[in-house]
Structure 1
Amino acid sequence: MAGSIRRHWKRWLIAGVATVAVLCTAGPYIYINYVQDKPPAALSLDDLPGSDSSGRPSGSGDGVEGAWRVGSGSQAGYRVDEVLFGQNVTAVGRTEKVTGELEIEGNRAVNGSFTVDLASVKSDSDQRDGQFRGRVMNTERYPEATFELTEPVDFGSAPAVGEQVSAKATGELTVHGETNSVSFELDAQRTADGFRVNGSLPVTFADYGIEAPDFGGIKVEDEGNIEFLLAFDRA
């Protein structure tokens, strides 16, 4: 009788362990693939603001030379791949708290500096945001990320309202108290009353003294991207 009870107990124990293992594997898969919302698409210039009811751009379309500042509708943030309990996911965090100035002479942006409030960056997970502000970015000590142009950005020509041009930007990016020279491609679009600039630059976390999270079933890749969409108004 005692031997039979022990055998039953072992079978139940094995079944319990197997059930837990299945739940630990299947649970994240089901949540990530069927419950969790898909990450937002990359920021882009697809939607043109400042159009009338016919869809044609409205406004004066004056020249772009002079001083500009980052205005409403601007966003910046990160996009990074994670492995969450064995499942591949893409994490995206963004903020609208972006400031900056740009000086344009002719068809070139000759000066520019921009600041992102990292403490206000939010994703779809409060837990992720807490880790981002705390052990990852330490926003209490390093609350901002900044970028400053070190070379003029040559757009070649001033586009008509609604048109886009591409260029290469070079400058210094400061994150987590570390500064590195970076170069990246960007797109600019003329709007009715100003222009917008969109781009993405790859970032290797170790270059900025940031340790990619790897704990508790969560592993973040060693590289990610900073995304931005900046709308400029006259300064």
Structure 2
Amino acid sequence: MKKSIFSLVIALVFANAQATEPIKGDKKDIKVSESTVVWKGHKVTGSHEGTINLKSGHLEMANGKLTGGSFTVDMASIACTDLEGEYKGKLEGHLKSDDFFGTANHPTASFTMKQVAATGADTYEITGDLTIKGKTHPISFVMTVNGNKAMAELKVDRTKYGIEYKSASIFSALGDKAIYDEFDLNVALQF
């Protein structure tokens, strides 16, 4: 009798462990050299834009559907594409400084998907943790996955990550020198 009760308990524990295992799918590595991340920052008097390189990343798929993923960005690769010469170099240097991304102390940023909900045949509502300058905050956006391509557009509030340089929401009386808190990211992934 004791042996059969023990066997039943072991079977139930094993069955429960199996039932709570997360869905495992195919891990699709991102082809970083074929993928792009374009940023755009806005200020009262205009905007600047450029690129930043992915260092690594992957998407997780199960039965052809997106289930998760994570990415690491090379912050030292930040480049400005709307300026040339001296002004381009000055802006890139300033973006790498502690006023903005502090790439000497924070060479990477990362994003990890926490929730993925299908909203259409190829579209997903993504919620995950974005880490910039050692600070992590949740962010949500829509991602489209079609074949071996994925695309997303998102807005990031830089002040959540301690990037407060010329923020009108932090400092008053900046006038036309203010830089808006949110910047845009346009992401196109190949996998």
Report if TM-score (shorter chain) is over 0.5: yes
- Alignment check: 8 A CA contact 1:168 1:184 kept: yes
Deviates more, 1:172-181 or 1:97-106: 97-106
Secondary structure at the aligned position of 2:93 is classed as: helix
Secondary structure at the aligned position of 1:128 is classed as: helix
* Residue in structure 2 matched with residue 227 of structure 1 by the alignment: 186
**Where do 1:1-235 residues align within 5 Å?**
66-71=26-31, 72-83=33-44, 88-123=45-80, 124=83, 125-134=88-97, 135-154=99-118, 157=121, 165-190=122-147, 195-213=148-166, 218-232=177-191
Deviations 1:78-114 (A, max 9, x none): 211123xxxx322112123441012211243223110
* Residue in structure 2 matched with residue 5 of structure 1 by the alignment: none
Amino acid at match of 1:151: Q
- Alignment check: 8 A CA contact 2:118 2:125 kept: yes
Task: Give the alignment's Cα RMSD to 1 decimal.
Answer: 2.1
Separation in 2, partners of 1:155, 1:100: 23
Q: Gapped runs of 5+ residues in structure 2? A: 1-24, 168-173
Quick one: percent identity of the two aligned structures? 26
Q: Gapped runs of 5+ residues in structure 1? A: 1-64, 158-164
Judging changes above 3 Å, is the alpha-carbon distance between structure 1 residues 108 and 153 closer, same or farther for their aligned structure 2 residues? farther
TM-score scaled by structure 1? 0.59
Secondary structure at the aligned position of 1:118 is classed as: strand
Secondary structure at the aligned position of 1:203 is classed as: strand
- Alignment check: 8 A CA contact 2:54 2:71 kept: no
Separation in 2, partners of 1:129, 1:176: 17
TM-score scaled by structure 2? 0.71
Number of residue pairs the alignment of both structures matches: 152
Secondary structure at the aligned position of 1:152 is classed as: strand
Amino acid at match of 1:74: S
Deviations 1:53-79 (A, max 9, x none): xxxxxxxxxxxx622111031111421
